[in-house]
């Protein structure tokens, strides 16, 4: 009856798992809206390191993890897995609940799994600085950390309203050597122009992406870096699932349900892809259900449309085939900043549209209530994003209680909530609104997208 299931350093995976060759259909490629043709990988190399673009389109199932990266991973990997005995008892469920915990990394989430890898491959190609955007600061702090480990500089455009409201993640980025600017900033043409017209703007992720891209393409020594959505980013996260499989082996168990939250889809993919590999290669000892959980305030897959759309508001990125709420989506201010995105990883969307992955959405009131029960039973304070997964786990465990099924549930606690006390304070004070994004606004955004590109529906 072990509560913690540990692996030692020698068990840090030696390869990442790439799902592309195992998808039920070929992944629709990114498309240039001007030519309506697939974007050539070479074109992406203006933005990203060559090796990362190679990984993005690779058909290889296993991609070796360089020793230099495994050595950095050893600062916090392998991460622990826990059996949630106390939560099981609180729920009086016959289900066995396990969680893999990524909150032990220095930035406090799964995001350094890819930040460290991206910094390494850029360093190898002679790049000396990475640029990126960040909303609440999870991704920015992970990238600053990753760059520090390989002697790179980092420039982070942080959405202005978060820069002033959430100063502590900014301090974290600065401690690790990151240069942080409130976006829109005076650093870029796009930022200066935008500020001239809208001096009082709170900023947005779309604007910050545009600034980070401009900075990278106008400086020889710099490249751009993304924290979710793209294939190579999700692949770097598979160290999570590969370790989890070994850990469950140690207690002779295998999941019936694998549950995680989805904002761009990287952490959940990192957990479930290695188990999906078992399913497609017929190695899985039983049927496994993959369940992705989103916020009702940003219900990309549950309420969005599966079609080509831009990844950013300013329409600077290629078109990606994904479930989208429309690129002009403006989210309600829910506390789960990592889930406030209009799109989703194209691989996850393909799997959802083929019914290989189930999706469900919860509002933040029920989600924080679940995180509160989790804190009272397991002790760990969940980040607001994986609290969505906790809600889904509790619901499934309660269903098992009704039917008496002894199912095994595995979920990802992808980050701690130590920087999110304002959210918990609002929850305790009963001040959280249960936001639901209206269907009508999705319709309007999709109509606008179709008017902009009348040919898009057929793609
Ligand atoms: C960024 C973030 C997310 C959302 O991104 P995914 O790519 O879906 O994982 C979720 N949880 C935490 C803690 C995050 O930092």
pLDDT (average), residues 119-125: 98
pLDDT at 335 over 90: no
- 340 and 431 in one domain? yes
Q: Is residue 220 part of a domain?
A: yes
The 10s digit of each residue's pLDDT in 227-244 is: 999 999 999 999 999 999
> Does ligand 1 have an atom closer than 6 angstroms to the CB of 262?
yes
Domain that holds residue 279: 4-11+66-108+237-458
Q: Please indicate, yes or no, if residue 28 is contained in any of the structural domains.
A: no
The pLDDT of 159-174, averaged and rounded, is: 91
Last residue of a domain, one of 180, 196, 231: 231
Per the domain annotation, does 392 fall within a domain?
A: yes
pLDDT band at 318 (very low <50, low <70, confident <90, very high): very high
Same domain, 94 and 116: no
User: Would the pLDDT of 213 be above 80?
Assistant: yes
Classify residue 121: in a domain, yes or no: yes
**Do residues 158 and 281 both lie within one domain?**
no
pLDDT band for position 87 (cuts 50, 70, 90): very high
Per residue in 401-423, pLDDT tens?
999 999 999 999 999 999 999 99
To test the pocket of ligand 1, the residue of 79, 102, 106, 111 to mutate (highest count of ligand atoms within 8 Å of its CB) is 111
Of 231, 261, 282, the residue at which a domain comes to its end is: 231
Is it the case that residue 264 has pLDDT exceeding 80? yes
Return the pLDDT at 341: 87
Q: Does the pLDDT of residue 1 top 80, yes or no?
A: no
Q: Determine if ligand 1 sits within 6 Å of the CB of residue 55.
A: no
Ligand 1 atom 5, closest CA: 263
| Residue 309 confidence (pLDDT) above 80 | yes
What is the distance between the alpha carbons of residues 405 and 32, in angstroms, rounded to a whole number? 49
159 shares its domain with 126: yes
Examine residue 302 and state whether it is found in any structural domain, yes or no.
Answer: yes
pLDDT for 316 equals: 85
pLDDT at 322: 97
Is 385 close to ligand 1, i.e. is its CB under 6 Å away?
Answer: yes
Among 110, 140, 300, 341, say which to mutate for ligand 1: greatest number of ligand atoms within 8 Å of CB: 110
pLDDT at residue 203, rounded to an integer? 87
- Alpha carbons 282 and 285: distance in angstroms, whole number: 8
Residue 446 has pLDDT above 90, yes or no: yes
| Whether the CB of 338 sits within 6 Å of ligand 1 | yes
Among residues 168, 201, 231, the one where a domain terminates is 231
The stretch 29-51 carries a mean pLDDT of 95
Mean pLDDT estimate for the chain: 96
Residue-wise pLDDT tens digits, 282-294:
999 999 999 999 9
Q: Can you give the pLDDT at residue 46?
A: 92
Query: Using a 6 Å cutoff on CB, does residue 267 contact ligand 1?
Result: yes
Cβ-based neighbours of 95, under 8 Å, separated by 6 or more = 88, 396, 397, 400, 401, 405, 406, 407, 408, 409
What is the pLDDT at residue 205? Answer: 83
Task: Give yes or no: residues 172 and 246 share one domain.
Answer: no
For the CA of 227, the closest atom of ligand 1 is 7
pLDDT (mean) for 338-366: 96
What value does the mean pLDDT take over residues 208-230?
A: 94
In a domain, 402, yes or no: yes
Q: Is the CB of 408 under 6 A from ligand 1?
A: no
Task: Please report which confidence band the pLDDT of residue 353 belongs to, taking 50, 70 and 90 as the band edges.
Answer: very high
Residues 292 and 436 in one domain: yes
Q: Using the predicted structure, report yes or no on whether residue 339 has a pLDDT greater than 90.
A: no
Using the predicted structure, report yes or no on whether residue 368 has a pLDDT greater than 80: yes
Residue 329's pLDDT is 86
136 has pLDDT over 90? no
Residue nearest to atom 2 of ligand 1 (CA): 338
Question: In terms of domains, do 409 and 271 share one?
Answer: yes
Of residues 458 and 270, more confidence is placed in: 270
In this prediction, residues 30-45 reach a mean pLDDT of 95
Same domain, 96 and 149: no
Instruction: Report how far ligand 1's centroid is from the alpha carbon of 452 (Å).
Output: 30
In a domain, 442, yes or no: yes
Band of residue 304 on the pLDDT scale cut at 50, 70, 90: very high
pLDDT at position 140 over 90: yes
Ligand 1, residue 383: give the atom nearest the CA: 13
pTM of the full structure = 0.97
The predicted structure's pLDDT at residue 292:
98
Asked if the model's pLDDT at residue 338 lies above 90, the reply is: no
Task: Let me know whether 148 and 287 are in one domain.
Answer: no
Residue 267 Cα: closest atom of ligand 1: 9
Q: Look at residue 254 and tell me if it is in a domain.
A: yes
The domain that contains 432 carries what CATH number? Answer: 3.40.50.1100
283 and 141 in a common domain: no
pLDDT of residue 7: 96
Q: What tokens does 268 get? A: 């959940």
Count of structural domains, the chain: 2
Which residue's C-alpha comes closest to atom 9 of ligand 1? 267
The pLDDT assigned to 458 comes to 84
- Centre of ligand 1 to C-alpha 335, Å, is 12
Mean pLDDT of 164-191: 95
Q: Do 275 and 342 belong to one domain? A: yes
- Angle, alpha carbons 259-334-234 (nearest 5°): 40
Percentage of residues in the chain with pLDDT exceeding 90? 90
Distance (Å) from CA 402 to ligand 1 centroid: 32
Do residue 211 and residue 263 come from a single domain? Answer: no
- Rounded mean pLDDT, 11-28: 98
389 lines ligand 1 (CB under 6 A): no
Q: Which of 132, 267, 357, 411 to mutate to test the pocket of ligand 1 (most atoms within 8 A of CB)?
A: 267
Position with higher pLDDT, 353 vs 311: 353
The whole-number pLDDT of residue 117 equals 98
pLDDT score of 135: 87
């Amino acid at each position: 009856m072990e509560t913690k299931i540990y692996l030692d350093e020698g068990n840090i995976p030696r390869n990442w798992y790439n799902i592309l060759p195992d998808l039920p259909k070929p992944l629709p490629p990114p498309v240039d809206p001007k030519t309506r043709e697939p974007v050539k990988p070479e074109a992406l190399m203006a933005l990203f390191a060559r090796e990362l673009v190679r990984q993005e389109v690779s058909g290889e199932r296993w991609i070796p993890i360089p020793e230099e990266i495994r050595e950095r991973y050893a600062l916090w990997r392998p991460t622990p897995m826990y059996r949630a005995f106390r939560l099981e008892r609180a729920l009086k469920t016959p289900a066995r609940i396990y969680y893999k915990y990524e909150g032990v990394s220095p930035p406090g989430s799964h995001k350094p799994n890819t930040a460290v890898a991206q910094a390494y491959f850029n360093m190898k190609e002679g790049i000396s600085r990475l640029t990126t955007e960040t909303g609440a600061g999870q991704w920015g702090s992970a990238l600053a950390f990753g760059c520090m480990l390989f002697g790179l500089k980092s420039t982070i455009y942080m959405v202005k309203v978060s820069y002033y409201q959430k100063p502590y993640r900014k301090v974290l980025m600065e401690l690790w050597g990151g240069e942080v600017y409130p976006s829109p900033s005076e650093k870029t043409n796009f930022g200066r122009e935008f500020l001239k017209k809208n001096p009082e703007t709170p900023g947005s992720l779309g604007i910050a992406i545009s600034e980070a891209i401009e900075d990278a393409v106008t400086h020889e020594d710099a490249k751009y870096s993304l924290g979710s959505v793209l294939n190579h980013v999700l692949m770097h996260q598979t160290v999570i699932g590969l370790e989890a499989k070994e850990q469950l082996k140690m207690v002779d168990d295998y999941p019936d349900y694998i549950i995680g939250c989805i904002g761009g889809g990287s952490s959940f993919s990192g957990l479930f892809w290695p188990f999906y590999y078992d399913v497609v290669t017929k190695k899985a000892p039983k049927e496994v259900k993959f369940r992705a959980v989103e916020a009702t305030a940003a219900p990309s897959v549950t309420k969005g449309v599966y079609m080509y759309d831009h990844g950013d508001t300013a329409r600077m990125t290629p078109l990606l085939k994904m479930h989208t709420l429309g690129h002009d989506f403006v989210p309600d201010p829910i506390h789960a900043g990592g889930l406030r995105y209009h799109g989703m990883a194209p691989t996850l969307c393909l799997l959802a549209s083929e019914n290989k992955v189930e999706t469900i959405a919860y509002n933040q009131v029920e989600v924080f209530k679940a995180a509160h029960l989790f804190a009272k039973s397991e002790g760990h304070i969940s980040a607001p994003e994986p609290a969505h997964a906790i809600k889904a786990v509790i619901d499934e465990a309660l269903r098992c209680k009704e039917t008496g099924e002894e199912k095994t549930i595995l979920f990802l606690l992808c980050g701690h909530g130590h920087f999110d006390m304002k959210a918990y304070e609002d929850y305790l004070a009963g001040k959280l609104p249960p936001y639901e994004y209206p269907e009508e606004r999705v319709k309007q955004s999709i109509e606008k997208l179709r008017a902009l590109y009348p040919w898009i529906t057929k793609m």
